């Protein structure tokens, strides 16, 4: 297992694991023929699934463990008692240099806690953040933090902005991404002092992105900026609110069409268009949240996804490794040595 990129896989995380995980690897393998998989999980359950996919044999290695991190496990409990779990062993294989990236659809809090402890943060980064990509009125937007840090300092937000810009450059292909800080518009003093301090530092900092100032909730979908930066509390609420709203609007639409005979006929004509609409808004397309700022690439797949969604999460990991993402972040952080230390210290 030396050629290509090796990805460590937690086979046991996710609602329909391990089947959806292994089927997802078969799809991912088609997209990235160079990738190799180091799979951690219950051999009795996982091996028969791998054997069904001839393309996986020879490029994957299965390591047995019968311990699994439960979905409802608290991160601290998972840290203490999950040292032999499929999730932890997969993370450890990245720490030990056997794999370059770990992908799991398991418990988010446990994955973050274990990844922080085992992989540590990159030089210049105080705290990792969860990032993901979402569709907007014009192209995609990268958003972070989506839940790793319930409370943040101005310094954390500045680091998130810089990591987000590197991410948008490498993964979304934007040469000079625009970056906005999520805030509210109605109030005179526009949000917490932490946000104002972070904005001030970002205005004064040289990085490979353009800080355009504060944005509001509706800018996330209008695509005002390429990167949206916020704390993990606000980001998590915004993400789940957006998901819920999309479901609500789609459901209202479905009910409307089911409510009249003419509309049902109309649906038959428009079925192709509806399929396209569904494909465009398919959450599996955007599956795969990245833990940015760790010494090792860690991708969290949605727990409820299917094989196609899991394959997308693996592809995200392959992309980040292929682009030397962590190296680029380290270079970007070197740029900030210009900030006076007392400034960032005071803001933090």
- Per CB under 8 A, contacts with a copy of itself among 241-280 are 241-253, 256-257, 259-260, 262-263, 265-274, 276-277, 280
CB-nearer residue toward a copy of itself: 5 or 179? 179
Footprint of a copy of itself on 142-161 (CB under 8 A): 147-148, 150-151
CA distance readout (Å), 323 to 27, 219, 303, 313:
21, 28, 26, 16
Judged by beta carbon, residue 246 or residue 336, the one nearer a copy of itself is 246
* CA–CA dist 87, 13 (Å, integer): 7
Pattern 88-127, binding to a copy of itself, x per CB under 8 A?
--------------------xx--xx--------------
Three-state secondary structure call for residue 209: coil
Choice from 10, 23, 42, 219 touching a copy of itself (CB under 8 A): 219
Q: How far is the CB of 84 from a copy of itself (least distance, A)?
A: 21
**What is the closest distance, in whole angstroms, from the C-beta atom of residue 176 to a copy of itself in the complex?**
24
**Footprint on residues 2-61 left by a copy of itself (CB under 8 A):** none
The count of chain residues that interact with a copy of itself, using the rule CB under 8 A, is 72
For a copy of itself, the binding residue among 93, 132, 236, 344 (CB under 8 A) is: 236
Least CB distance from residue 274 to a copy of itself, whole Å?
7
Of the residues 59, 126, 191, 208, which one makes contact with a copy of itself according to CB under 8 A:
191
C-alpha to C-alpha distances, 228 to 83, 100, 167, 216, 221, nearest whole angstrom: 35, 27, 12, 10, 11
- The answer to whether the CB of 131 falls within 8 A of the CB of 164 is yes
Between 84 and 247, whose beta carbon lies closer to a copy of itself? 247
Q: Which of 325, 4, 35, 335 is nearest to 170 (CA)?
A: 325
Q: Write down the least CB distance from residue 141 to a copy of itself, Å.
A: 11
Residue 170 or 237: which CB sits closer to a copy of itself?
237
Cβ 264 to a copy of itself, closest distance in Å? 8
**3-class state of residue 241 by DSSP:** helix
Closer by beta carbon to a copy of itself, 48 or else 266: 266
Q: How far is the CB of 62 from a copy of itself (least distance, A)?
A: 29
Cα separation of 130 and 112, whole Å? 9
| Helix (H/G/I), strand (E/B), else coil: 305 | coil
Residue whose CB is less far from a copy of itself, 35 or 110? 110
Q: For a copy of itself, give the closer residue by CB, 76 or 327.
A: 76
Query: Any contact of residue 81 with a copy of itself (CB under 8 A)?
Result: no
Site string for a copy of itself, 170-189 (x = CB under 8 A): ------------x-xxxxxx
DSSP string for residues in 76-141: HHHHHH-TTBHHHHHHHHHHTTS-SEEEE-S-HHHHHHHHHHHH-BPTT-SS-EEEEEEE-SSSEE
H helices of the chain, in order, are 19-31, 43-51, 75-81, 86-95, 108-119, 154-170, 193-204, 219-222, 232-258, 261-280, 307-322, 325-335, 341-347
Three-state DSSP class for residue 184 = coil
Kindly state the smallest distance separating residue 257's Cβ from a copy of itself, in Å: 6
Burial status of residue 195 (CB atoms within 10 A of its CB: 0-12, 13-18, 19 or more): buried
CA angle 95, 28, 280 (to 5 degrees): 115
- In the set 71, 81, 222, 327, which binds a copy of itself (CB under 8 A)? 222
Task: Indicate which single residue of 137, 206, 340, 342 sits in contact with a copy of itself (rule: CB under 8 A).
Answer: 137
The minimum distance between CB 132 and a copy of itself, in angstroms, equals: 13
Tokens of 275: 């399929």
Q: Could you give the CA distance from residue 191 to residue 196 in angstroms, rounded to a whole number?
A: 7
């Amino acid at each position: 297992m030396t050629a290509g990129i090796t990805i460590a896989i937690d086979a046991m995380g996710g609602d329909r694991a391990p089947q959806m995980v292994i089927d997802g690897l078969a799809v991912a393998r088609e997209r990235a023929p160079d990738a190799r998989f180091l799979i951690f999980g219950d051999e009795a359950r996982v091996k028969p699934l791998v054997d069904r996919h001839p393309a996986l044999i020879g490029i994957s290695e299965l390591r047995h463990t019968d311990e699994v991190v439960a979905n409802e496990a608290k991160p601290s409990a998972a840290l203490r008692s999950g040292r032999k779990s499929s999730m932890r062993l997969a993370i450890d294989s990245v720490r030990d240099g056997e794999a370059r990236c770990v992908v799991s659809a398991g418990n988010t809090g446990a994955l973050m806690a274990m990844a922080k402890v085992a992989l540590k943060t990159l030089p210049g980064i105080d705290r990792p953040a969860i990032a993901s990509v979402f569709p907007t009125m014009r192209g995609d937007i990268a958003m972070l933090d989506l839940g790793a840090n319930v409370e943040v300092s101005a310094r954390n937000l500045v680091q998130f902005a810089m990591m987000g810009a590197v991410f948008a450059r490498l993964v979304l292909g934007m040469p000079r991404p625009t970056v906005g800080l999520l805030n509210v518009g109605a109030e005179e003093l526009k949000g917490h002092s932490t946000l104002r301090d972070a904005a001030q530092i970002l205005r004064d900092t040289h990085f490979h992105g353009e800080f355009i100032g504060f944005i509001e909730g509706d800018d996330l979908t209008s695509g005002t900026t390429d990167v949206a930066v916020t704390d993990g509390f606000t980001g998590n609420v915004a993400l789940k609110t957006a998901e819920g709203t999309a479901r609500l609007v789609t459901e209202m639409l479905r009910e409307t069409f089911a409510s009249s005979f003419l509309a049902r006929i109309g649906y038959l004509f428009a079925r192709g268009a509806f399929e396209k609409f569904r494909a465009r808004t398919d959450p599996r397309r955007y599956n795969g949240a990245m833990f940015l700022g760790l010494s090792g690439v860690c991708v969290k797949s949605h727990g409820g996804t299917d094989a196609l969604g899991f394959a997308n999460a693996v592809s995200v990991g392959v992309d980040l490794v292929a682009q030397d993402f962590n190296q680029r972040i380290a270079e970007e952080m070197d740029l900030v040595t210009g900030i006076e230390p007392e400034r960032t210290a005071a803001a933090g």
